Structure 1
Amino acid sequence: MNLSSNRVLVTGADGFIGSHLTEMLVKQGASVRALCQYNSFNSWGWLEGSSCIDAVEVVTGDIRDPNFVESITKNVDTIFHLAALIAIPYSYVAPDSYVQTNICGTLNVVQSALKNNVKRVIHTSTSEVYGSAQYVPINELHPLQPQSPYSASKIAADAMALSFYHSFELPVVVARPFNTYGPRQSARAVIPTIISQVLAGQKTLKLGNLSPTRDFNYVENTCAGMLALAGCNEAIGQSFNIGSGAEISIGSLASLIGELIGSDIEIIEDGQRNRPRGSEVERLVCDSSKLLQMTGFSPKVDLRQGLQKTIDWFSVPENLKRYKAGIYNV
């Protein structure tokens, strides 16, 4: 598939990954319609000030509204569906909102895509659907384990998307990124939490459980993997992991970030940041060999390189001031 001649809809384009993906699509020459969540401030999120904004058709609305979604999927070749609620802690206190946004929102997208003859839907999943690893590295055959309301909603959303492939031959691909990080990431994620606290001059770093391991993948790697899947006809009807294949504990990650910034930090465990015991995912390590075999794609930016790029972005005062380093973000 030649994305340079594609009419593309990106849902969640105002978010962290969505804004980076939108910029990459514009660079490839795609005609991009960017869905940003409607708000009274008329804010386009991370697309505000983007170098690509003049080349993008921005629409604002809500993925939960089926009539609205049907209208914005008209005359579209490819949909990258990223719009979702993703904060795990908030899913403990507001699980119904995750059902409405992640499951019903996905249903609206695939129903509209079917009606409007969309040629490809890239549905964004998450490694959280696997829960704590039963074996490593985790491939796409690993059992799904709903260890939080968030992960349960994404398991259901994935199933909903793939059901439209099996039932109606809608050309769906499920992209399953592991822990994506980089510039613009939400303050509730661990890497922005660490970097913003250190750059704010805090010597005592407050984190949750330090022992779990994660497979962190730089945002450009994740977006490039999604673009590779969009251009692969053989990928239709399947799920694909996107990750680095390397793991690091949260404690070691914090130490590495301190080293890269050049700051001596004391790490303490803040109990309010811990997940409920049965909900904690202890280990995630990605096996993305299926993606490599199918598309030839592999990550280009390693952890140290990606963290340095992220630190450089946060080091710009205008960027850092967007983050409230002293507040625990649910």
Structure 2
Amino acid sequence: MILVTGGAGFIGGHLAASFVSAGRDVVVLDNLDPFYDTDIKRRTIDVARQAADNGDGSYELVEGDVRDADLVADLVADAQFVFHQAAQAGVRTSVKNPRRVDDINVEGTLNVLDAARDSPTERVVFASSSSVYGKPSYLPYDEEHPTTPVSPYGVSKLAAENYVRVYGDLYDVPTVALRYFTVYGPRMRPNMAISNFVSRCMNDEPPVVYGDGSQTRDFTYIADIVRANAKLLETDAADGEVLNIGSTDNVDIRTLAEVIRDEIAPDLSIEHGERQAGDAEHTHADVSKAGDVLGYEPTEDIRSGVGEFIDWYRKNREWYEPLVRSS
């Protein structure tokens, strides 16, 4: 059995559906926190359930919290692999409430690791983040770059990542930490830059860029994230390692907004808002280590990936609308 914590979220949901489609038995642990929209999470769950209905693997949803140590222990005890995606996401959210981020991202991770220490789990894969790097000394970031996070979210991911490493070293828990670089694609959270820009342009509203738009990001297409994780079902080559999972290029936020605007509604202007506290200035991944260890090679650059997301959005605008339930 594969356990995916946070499996009703964007990345966790894609992992769960992909594993089920590959014939695996999957259990998802998710508390359905309405951080961005519980309806979106329920649609994400339905995608994986549909894969199970199609005769592939099996799917079970457990509504619960990674902060519930007893529940986590029960689930991990039966898991061959654990993909620990559950977290309080959002740099800006972390600035407002750093203790909540620590409670979920660090204490929740410790619950998973403690449970894995006492079980025959073959591997714990931890979803880390490019936010651990913070201020760039050089670009692109390789895994040896100094880690100086600039937000409580980045600090929480770095702390959890260090626990993952230590549990691997001290307690022989096979672990891998994947540092994701700004993941996007179908079913992504509506409060991310790309989905926000697309939504506003589709509604004939100008995209809003925070700050002057000179900040750069390495955006990673969700299918590449799924492939990197799936590889860890097949090999122990990455055990004990930290790996960047990013793309091949980066783009400044204003250019990103212009690319999306030009594709959907070229007559719209670009508006600017106040720069948000805790936002990193630049991110850019060196993925050569992941290439060497896992054969990882990103398949989408930002322009082609955004084009695919726009096409998906046009066909699935209801994804971000409230579900209509019968009384």
Is the TM value for this pair above 0.5? Answer: yes
Tell me what 2:63 maps to.
60
Tell me what 1:82 maps to.
85
Once the 2 structures are TM-superposed, how far is the Cα of residue 46 of structure 1 from its aligned partner? 4.0
Residue of structure 2 aligned with 1:37, choices 31, 42, 46: 31
Using a 3 Å threshold, how does the CA distance of structure 1 residues 242 and 163 change in structure 2: closer, same or farther?
A: same
2: CA distance, partners of 1:311 / 1:149: 32
1: CA distance, partners of 2:181 / 2:113: 23
Consecutive unaligned residues in structure 2, runs of 5 or more: none
Q: What amino acid is the match of 1:65?
A: D
1: CA distance, partners of 2:255 / 2:244: 24
Runs of 4+ in 1 over 4 A off after TM superposition: 38-44
Q: Deviations over 1:259-288 (max 9, x none)?
A: 2224332112111xx223xx3311111101
In the alignment, is the contact (CA less than 8 A) between 2:28 and 2:62 conserved in 1? yes
Tell me what 1:73 maps to.
76
Tell me what 1:10 maps to.
4
Q: What amino acid is the match of 1:207?
A: V
Q: Deviations over 1:16-61 (max 9, x none)?
A: 0111111111122211111121569997534343132543111110
SS in 1 for 2:141: coil
Moved more, 38-47 or 111-120: 38-47
In the alignment, is the contact (CA less than 8 A) between 1:314 and 1:320 conserved in 2? no
1: CA distance, partners of 2:162 / 2:294: 23
Once the 2 structures are TM-superposed, how far is the Cα of residue 300 of structure 1 from its aligned partner? 1.8
2: CA distance, partners of 1:21 / 1:243: 17
Once the 2 structures are TM-superposed, how far is the Cα of residue 302 of structure 1 from its aligned partner? 2.5
Using a 3 Å threshold, how does the CA distance of structure 1 residues 124 and 42 change in structure 2: closer, same or farther?
A: closer
Q: What amino acid is the match of 1:52?
A: A
Consecutive unaligned residues in structure 1, runs of 5 or more: 1-6, 324-330
Q: CA RMSD in A?
A: 2.0
SS in 1 for 2:232: helix
1: CA distance, partners of 2:310 / 2:279: 27
Give the alignment of 1:1-330 within 5 angstroms.
Answer: 7-37=1-31, 45-50=42-47, 51-52=50-51, 54=53, 55-202=58-205, 204-209=206-211, 210-271=213-274, 274-276=275-277, 279-315=278-314, 316-321=316-321
Q: What amino acid is the match of 1:287?
A: D
In the alignment, is the contact (CA less than 8 A) between 1:215 and 1:285 conserved in 2? yes
Pairs aligned (count): 312
TM-score when scaled to structure 1? Answer: 0.89
2: CA distance, partners of 1:63 / 1:53: 24
In the alignment, is the contact (CA less than 8 A) between 1:196 and 1:320 conserved in 2? no
Q: Deviations over 1:233-273 (max 9, x none)?
A: 121111000011201000000111122224332112111xx
SS in 2 for 1:49: helix
Q: Report % sequence identity.
A: 31
